[in-house]
Amino acid sequence: MRALDHSVRLARSDVTRMARKHTDWRSGSSSIIGLVMYVLLVLVGTLGGGYLGYRMGESLGAGEALFGIGTFSTPIAGGILALFWLIITVIFAVRAIGQRGTLAQPAGILSVVPTREALAGVYVAEFTYVVLWVLGPAVGLGAGLALGSGVPWPVLTVPVAILAAGLTAVTIGYPIGLSVRHVASRFPFVAQHKGVILVMVFLGYFAALSTGTVDQLMIALFEPMQASPMAWYADLLFLGTPGVEGSLAKASGAVAFTLVFTVAGTIAGSRVAGIHWFSDPALAGAEPEPVATEAASPGIERRIESVLGPRTAALITLSWRRAVRAPLKLLYAFFPVLMMGGFLADIVQSGEIPAYLPFVAVVVAAWAAGVIFTLNPLGDQGAALTSALLSRVDGRTFVHAHLLAGLAIAVPIGTLLTAVLAVLSPIESETALALVLATPVVMILSAAFSVGVGMTFPRFEAVNVTRSMKTVLPSRWAFVLFSAYLFVTAAATGIVYEPAVRDLAVALVSWALPFGLGVPTDTLYLIAVALLVVAVILPVVSYRHAIRRFDRYTLA
């Protein structure tokens, strides 16, 4: 009992710290927003679950088709539940590969309690997070099902089944994830290139999503999961519900399965934790760095130096070198691509390039050019900012170096991408040529605007990009202002050059304005032209401001 008490105590400390972290008003609006979102989601889940359960209970009790679709089938419900279980288990495995695979302050815990108790504490904490998210919706669903079907059993069976499934997801997923983490940590190559590997995994996952591979995988896994013991949770969940042909044996099996796998998962997890938590991590940089064989080798630096001078060359190659070795922060250069995931999936599957895509490519290229190295140049220097400020680097050199570092990479790639898409799309040749010529110009303007915004609103503290990895990202204000600039410029360009966009804009503005007010097309056109003029002037102003900002910058 004392062992259990220790584990519960450790879990309580973990959950308390997490709760305080997410409810600390002093840390900014994101905690408040996060808390509000959590409450809303759980509330919606609970009420929604209640409604869903009620409708389901009514249909089941009356022997009708479920939601007008078809007769309820326990095996199908089992397959669906089992697939959800699999997804949740993968989530917990991924958490164990990341930040949750190591204890907070391990020296203080592992020198006091046995490894098994510490691991059980992690399990209890992870299960607590399951409860915090699903208990409300589970109770809602159970209560609704009970009310709808007219029997009380679902009030108990639904939460028990869902929480039991959550418990096994934790006790099976966590040791699997911890094992993967341990295997990966034994290879110095993995430790050294963790950032690059993570980016590749992320891009691979995104590609799988876009091409529908993930959907196909889910379909392929349905039958095997349906045949697995995880599907028995459906029998437990609907135990005693009229209209459901469940199996008491399978329901009992689900309970037994939960108990057996909780114990087995704890024993297995203890074994893995006993090895992993006490093993020496592979040291990053244990092998001497191959100085001349990667981006920004001394040869490249000398060539740049001969053209641009040593200080500019040093800053440019520094940016490249750091980006290659720690590419995680560059993921936000792909934000627009992520937001277009659905469109990309359709394009890949249809094999046709729509006419709007080259235009979108120009905007994406402008985004990438503006965020890579110029949206937080001061913050990116980190503790080494003092070295830059106390050197012979002046504002002009600092700003030029960051602009060139980004544009030298982004302009060729962005222009090529636009050219390929323009040629493959059904747009006219003249339009395609104009787009290709405009792309580098737009990218330069975008980068010039972003450097001023980034210098004005720097961020120095690192934020979690994944649960286990922090990096310094641009500030919210920098993101917002830069995004607003791109959006307004893109919209104004569309209004000026494309009649269909102009008509759409007129309709949207008229809809948004109160009292039935509208905007004439000509007026909107003139406003858009004015905005385009401003969009060209702003980057020049921003660029000059960035130079002055560096020259006058102080730490406090």
Contacts with another protein by CB under 8 A lie at 192, 283-289, 291, 298, 302, 305, 310-311, 313-315, 318, 321-322, 325-326, 382-394, 551, 554-556
What is the smallest separation between the CB atom of 329 and another protein, expressed in angstroms? 11
Which CB sits closer to another protein, 21 or 302?
A: 302
What is the smallest separation between the CB atom of 107 and another protein, expressed in angstroms? 16
* Torsion, Cα of 544, 547, 549, 553 (10° steps): -170
Which CB sits closer to another protein, 69 or 286?
A: 286
What is the smallest separation between the CB atom of 104 and another protein, expressed in angstroms? 21
What is the smallest separation between the CB atom of 276 and another protein, expressed in angstroms? 20
- Which of 330, 342, 306, 305 minimizes the C-alpha distance to 413? 330
Which CB sits closer to another protein, 166 or 195?
A: 195
Which CB sits closer to another protein, 68 or 299?
A: 299
Which whole-number Å values give the CA distances from 11 to 102, 110, 128, 177, 368, in the listed order? 14, 14, 8, 19, 42
- d(Cα 401, Cα 406) in Å, to the nearest integer? 9
Which CB sits closer to another protein, 188 or 229?
A: 188
- d(Cα 148, Cα 159) in Å, to the nearest integer? 16
Output the CA torsion sign for 344, 349, 353, 355.
negative
What is the smallest separation between the CB atom of 440 and another protein, expressed in angstroms? 28
What is the smallest separation between the CB atom of 21 and another protein, expressed in angstroms? 24
What is the smallest separation between the CB atom of 460 and another protein, expressed in angstroms? 12
Which CB sits closer to another protein, 284 or 463?
A: 284
- The residues near 164 (Cβ < 8 Å, ≥ 6 apart) are 233, 236, 254, 255, 258
Neighbours of 213 (CB within 10 A): 13
What is the smallest separation between the CB atom of 317 and another protein, expressed in angstroms? 8
**Which tokens go with 486?**
């791109």
| Three-class HEC string of 151-210 | CCCHHHHHHHHHHHHHHHHHHHHHHHHHHHHHHHHCCHHHHHCHHHHHHHHHHHHHHHHH
Output the CA torsion sign for 224, 225, 229, 235.
negative
CB-CB contact of 456 with 469 (8 Å): no
Which CB sits closer to another protein, 497 or 553?
A: 553
Which CB sits closer to another protein, 245 or 289?
A: 289
Helix, coil or strand: residue 375? coil
